[in-house]
Amino acid sequence: MSELAPITQISQELVDKIIDELAESLENDLSYRWDGLSRCSLACRSFLPRSQYHIFRRIKIQSEGAFHHDFTVKHCKELCRILTQSPQIATYVRELRLDIRQDDKIGLHETPSFMRAISQICQAHHPLDKLTIGGLFRLSQLRDAQGFLDAFTRPFISPFITSLHIQAIDNAPIRIIQECVNLSDLTLWRVDDFECNSRPNPSRHHVPRPRLRRLKFLGSHGAIAKLTGRGLTYHPIHLSTLRALTIYTDRIEDILCAQSIIRATNSLEELYLETEGNICIPPRYYKQHVSLEGHINLKKSNLRILHANVVFGPSDDERLSGILSILKTVPAVNPLQSFSLSVYVGFATQVGPEGLLDADWESLAAQIRKIASGKPLAFHLLFHFLDNENTSSDERRQERRMKKAHSLCANQLHRLVGELSRILDPAITFSTDINIVYHDANDIM
């Protein structure tokens, strides 16, 4: 009698934990994630259910444009077949992503196989939690915004989802957001404006406005203006419940929108000031950098968490002036518990690790000490350095250069820590980290 393979003797609880850890480690690498989980599902029968759970937890349906709609139909029919043969898979689906092409002649909501698949998913025990609608490769439009709203979002999306992400769609009906009664998490990515002329839902005379808790946006100042009621006779969403706001500070218009949101709510607890275009690899030294100075006022806020990204620009700029101007507006009595500062050196101007010290750190430390005022405060400093001298294609030389760059960065950071520690209050927990990246200098645009 043959013995059982050792893998079959692992408890189901341990198997599930292994698969969960693998899925989490590949969260941001979708191709490897799919491949790794698919291999796991074939390794052993006990691996199959948990692997399927993660594989089908989020599904993507891509419109193929005017000349390849047959491919869209084929993919949707295959999804219907899977859901029919294994009905439990429909209960795994939590997130749906729709990639929309600009030249669609037939909308997804006009595709019977797509609508059948969505119906099968939504008839399962658990409805969808998250919808992502994204332009594919470039700014796109919904082919029939009113039809998309009536046939798809109102019956299958609006009553259920808690998270919505709209990316590079320039005619999304504002009612998609307004009618998502359970919506708490909204992301807008390069959404220039909303379509505001769609008809109301005839089957519901009163739709309560969503009470957002988290809002994130980039390049979407026109859409944000509409959400705050500008130019409208009503407010599409409640901001009185907003807890976390994430903005990308690459454009002055987005920064000004952020300030209007901060003024509109007194419930904000977390503020994240990120950057995208200013930390490209290879770097864009020609890119104009926007200063935060004088644009964000936290005088009436009650933040617990503040995170800011700062890109050190040309040497004649004061690199910390923007974040300093923000910290000066924090009231003397405040609930701030955590302040994280990510500093990017070498991304906007070609400079070595010593560029970290070329800023008014003394004033920053004094401001942090004033904000803490003797209460516990966690201050974390993350030093990002772009090493422009690591241009070798040889892996060994790259590794040696990385070690040298890390040593140089560590020395500069050690000097800075010494200076700041003399100023910071003992009640402040101060931690640091280093992240070094490199690129081929010949690729500079």
End-to-end CA distance of the chain: 67
User: Among 24-38, 294-308, 393-407, 427-441, which range has the highest average pLDDT?
Assistant: 294-308
Q: Which pLDDT score is estimated for 387?
A: 86
Q: Is the pLDDT of residue 126 over 70?
A: yes
Q: Are strands 214-218 and 244-248 parallel, antiparallel or unpaired?
A: parallel
Q: Is the pLDDT of residue 284 over 70?
A: no
What is the distance between the alpha carbons of residues 256 and 258, in angstroms, rounded to a whole number? 5
Give the list of residues 6+ apart from residue 21 with CB closer than 8 angstroms, or none.
none
pLDDT in tens, 349-378: 888 999 999 999 999 999 999 999 989 999
Q: Which pLDDT score is estimated for 326?
A: 96
Q: Is the pLDDT of residue 158 over 80?
A: yes
- Cβ-count burial 296-322 (b if 16+ within 10 Å, e if not): bebeebebebbbbbbbbbeeebebbbb
Within 13 A of 315's CA, how many CA atoms are on the CB side?
Answer: 7
Q: Which pLDDT score is estimated for 67?
A: 63
More confident residue, 126 or 198: 198
Helix or strand or coil: residue 125? coil
CA 390 to mean position of chain CA atoms: 29
Q: What is the mean pLDDT of the chain?
A: 87
What is the distance between the alpha carbons of residues 74 and 114, in angstroms, rounded to a whole number? 10
- What integer is the mean pLDDT of 53-82? 86
- For the chain, the farthest-separated pair of C-alpha atoms sits apart, in whole angstroms, at 80
Q: Is the pLDDT of residue 263 over 80?
A: yes
Q: Which pLDDT score is estimated for 84?
A: 93
pTM: 0.89
- What integer is the mean pLDDT of 334-350? 93
More confident residue, 419 or 126: 419
> Could you tell me if residue 140 is left (phi over 0), alpha (psi between -120 and 50 degrees) or otherwise beta?
beta
Give the list of residues 6+ apart from residue 308 with CB closer than 8 angstroms, or none.
272, 273, 323, 326, 340, 341, 342
Q: Which amino acid is at 255?
A: I
